[in-house]
Amino acid sequence: MTTRQNLFGVTLDALTMDQTVARCLAAVRAGERLEIGVVNAAKLVNMRRDPALARAVSGCDLVLADGQAVVWAGRLLRRPLPERVAGIDLFMRLLAEAEREGLSVYFLGARQDVLERMLRRVAVHFPGLRVAGSRNGYFDDGEQPAVADAIAESGADMLFLGMTSPKKEIFTAGYGERSKVALVHGVGGSFDILAGITRRAPERWQRLGLEWLYRTLQEPRRLGRRYLTTNVSFALMTGRELLRRTPSISTGSRES
């Protein structure tokens, strides 16, 4: 039985990385469909502004804390989560397990050149991995049914979506079942990292919850204002929730 915690109105699964991987593999072996959603501070803020994104994430079978700030907020609000389950780390673990167990995967997302570069690197790191197919992430909404049908025809066991929010969540909610894969995991910008286009923050930055800052330093004009805005909003959300949960101290009435 999975323990769940409600944080900012979103139900999160309180799982470790090892528990998550085991849950994913059990679903694939049993032919059970499992959609994974991950949330960080920015996405929790955006879910409050975007009802379609909120519905798509909440509709996932597993919703995990991808951001360290989410884990810290859970502890502060007495809704503890055991650890951060970063989407890219889960992605890499699942690729390794798929190679070991002979499961097939499909990659959907990124530019065509980035996708091809990533596939070459994946082939080096996971030489025994069965890649059922791949497609870049540049397609119109009207093409989504055909994309889902192509994934289904590939016979893939796992689908990894290297697309940004909310596109990947909306595709998963609308076409995950039609894709006929057992496991769907939206991995965001992980394709760019595996391709060597962008660099991931060192582990020390990750432990300090500063991965967002490392990314901002790489792309300040594109990400600077976005992260500043969402981080401030998340801090305010956490503060308001903490005040709401803190019981008021009654001094009682005085008798004259």
pLDDT at position 144: 94
pLDDT tens digit sequence for 32-85: 999 999 999 999 999 999 998 999 899 899 999 999 999 999 999 999 999 999
For the segment 143-172, the average pLDDT, to the nearest whole number, is: 93
Using only C-alpha atoms, what is the Rg of the chain? 20
Q: pLDDT by residue (tens digit) across 165-215? A: 888 888 888 898 899 999 999 998 899 999 999 888 888 888 888 888 888
The angle at the Cα of 247, spanning 242 to 253, to the nearest 5 degrees, equals 150
pLDDT of residue 186: 92
State the pTM of this model: 0.89
- Which residues lie across from 107 on neighbouring strands? 134, 160
Report the pLDDT value the prediction gives residue 256, as an integer from 0 to 100. Answer: 36
Identify the residue whose tokens are 């798929």.
98
Per-residue pLDDT, 250 = 43
Query: If DSSP codes are grouped into helix, strand and coil, which group holds residue 83?
Result: coil
SS3 1: coil
